[in-house]
Structure 1
């Protein structure tokens, strides 16, 4: 156990976790991500319940707390409980409230599966309103608007978000280039990006290695990066000028892209408002023939 006095408030704890995250073991990093993504749930559940959700033994949570200077997990948890007094409801609380309001509980079946996904998406979207800062939205929109070229990067499950950004920005007449992994040229094309350009990187667990490497290389060169990811502990965080952390929550079948897609659309609407000099912009669409 370290002799250093541990942080006495939630904000100090989160700063300490961020400072130490890269040097932590893989298990402690997983614990860190859960704590930072689910602060309200950490406040109300027992260490055994939290450990079960993470698939990590409860004793590891106790040792994690001690490694930060606390006597045990309960002392660390007290910081989350004090924060909860003024915090908005957590993800699971929003889900339960929505289930009650929409009467979605019952036997499993096709409609039950649909209802569960819809309720969880609504809860994620509500969280988006609480977690995203207006100043970050404005700065990201300014960077996109002013960039000579916007380079878009997202692979595997993140690819649809990058594709949506490419579609809308292209329709707005904004020059953008998708760093497509096909052909293995993404890394080399990224090296042609200049300081007048912008990289928009999208990546969620388990972070695509090429996306992380490109973001780190461009960050070291001083290129502006707007990142959409799942945690402030994401490997994209240290390179991003603007970071949008959209927490992911385990779904029955998969993790949804509803919140990241909504965020991407909000950014493009803000860019459209700047291009068209209109607070209620219209985004052109392609019509079929």
Structure 2
């Protein structure tokens, strides 16, 4: 494994490093795969945290991170970390400072009241939303909206924790008059209904760790059938990433119990608003008001 991982010349920038990680991910050991996922999901935290802190978050020994970096041709983890720091320097002005303040505030929390949990979750959501804003490209948004707009039928699939995301998307697109179909796991027919998709349709698949097997399988079958796919997941190493025409990687920041949906919910709302703008609707769609007699 180490012999395969060894790079003659280590990547010189962040983009080259990520490409190399993607190329070698399937051949890596389970530990190295976990390290790869964390690095790709949390580049800002990797830039500002010590290797011991990062290792503790991953529940992997720090020496494994050092060996991982050496296997890619670096002298140690600090040399690899420089690439993440350079990337962060090109982010929005003041972002690094805000991230450091956030990390400090979360780490030094002493209040354990009910309100403190709300406070912590809001802070983490702010970080997630800012991170998504930094990562999401204009080109990907435009391509996704184009696919939604021209699709004959938009199929939606997301299970477990991803379910609220596709439910919100179904609501928005339906109110815009867009034909869409939710591939609901109820009744066990989602996979069979998905096989009726055609290349002129679109599949929007949403899946986060630990990835629902049916969602992954439906995405793979859709790819084989020539159906374009807009995927929303938590990593560029997600199992649905390889099938996607457009991938929105919305990294999840660490939560002790609850994992927030603030960022993916915001993303699908943005897609819906953009589609509405394309359709040039004079008035925003509204839910009909039901009044008593």
SS at match of 2:242: helix
Q: Which stretches in structure 1 are left out of the alignment for 5+ residues?
A: none
SS at match of 1:270: helix
1:18-97 correspondence to structure 2 within 5 Å: 18-88=22-92, 89=95, 92-93=99-100, 95-96=102-103
Partner Cα separation in structure 2 for residue 212 and residue 94 of structure 1? 37
Shift in Å, 1:96: 4.5
Query: Which 4+ runs in 1 deviate beyond 6 A?
Result: none
Could you tell me which of 146, 155, 158 is aligned with 1:154? 158
Preserved CA contact (<8 Å) 1:171 1:283? yes
Preserved CA contact (<8 Å) 2:199 2:228? yes
Shift in Å, 1:277: 5.0
Partner Cα separation in structure 2 for residue 152 and residue 84 of structure 1? 34
1:230-269 correspondence to structure 2 within 5 Å: 230-269=234-273
SS at match of 1:238: coil
SS at match of 2:239: coil
Could you tell me which of 160, 168, 173 is aligned with 1:169? 173
Aligned to 1:126: 130
Partner Cα separation in structure 1 for residue 67 and residue 48 of structure 2? 20
Partner Cα separation in structure 2 for residue 119 and residue 84 of structure 1? 19
Aligned to 2:287: 285
With over 3 angstroms needed to count, the CA separation of the structure-2 counterparts of 1:253 and 1:262, relative to structure 1, is: same
Partner Cα separation in structure 2 for residue 282 and residue 95 of structure 1? 36
**Greater shift after overlay, 45-54 or 239-248?**
45-54
Preserved CA contact (<8 Å) 2:198 2:226? no
Task: State the TM-score, normalized to the length of structure 1.
Answer: 0.91
Q: 2:122 aligned with 1:115, yes or no?
A: no
Shift in Å, 1:220: 2.3
With over 3 angstroms needed to count, the CA separation of the structure-2 counterparts of 1:75 and 1:122, relative to structure 1, is: closer
Q: 2:233 aligned with 1:229, yes or no?
A: yes
Partner Cα separation in structure 2 for residue 233 and residue 168 of structure 1? 28
SS at match of 1:200: strand
Task: State the TM-score, normalized to the length of structure 2.
Answer: 0.90
* Cα displacement string for residues 100-136 of structure 1 (whole angstroms, at most 9, x for unaligned residues): 9xxx955221111111111211222222222211221
Partner Cα separation in structure 1 for residue 287 and residue 27 of structure 2? 47
User: How many residue pairs get matched?
Assistant: 283
Could you tell me which of 187, 198, 219 is aligned with 1:183? 187
Preserved CA contact (<8 Å) 2:162 2:206? yes
1:215-226 correspondence to structure 2 within 5 Å: 215-226=219-230
Partner Cα separation in structure 2 for residue 183 and residue 105 of structure 1? 46
SS at match of 2:223: helix
**Greater shift after overlay, 190-199 or 30-39?**
30-39
Partner Cα separation in structure 1 for residue 36 and residue 139 of structure 2? 26
Partner Cα separation in structure 2 for residue 130 and residue 35 of structure 1? 16
Partner Cα separation in structure 1 for residue 20 and residue 284 of structure 2? 44
Preserved CA contact (<8 Å) 2:220 2:243? yes
Preserved CA contact (<8 Å) 2:7 2:72? no
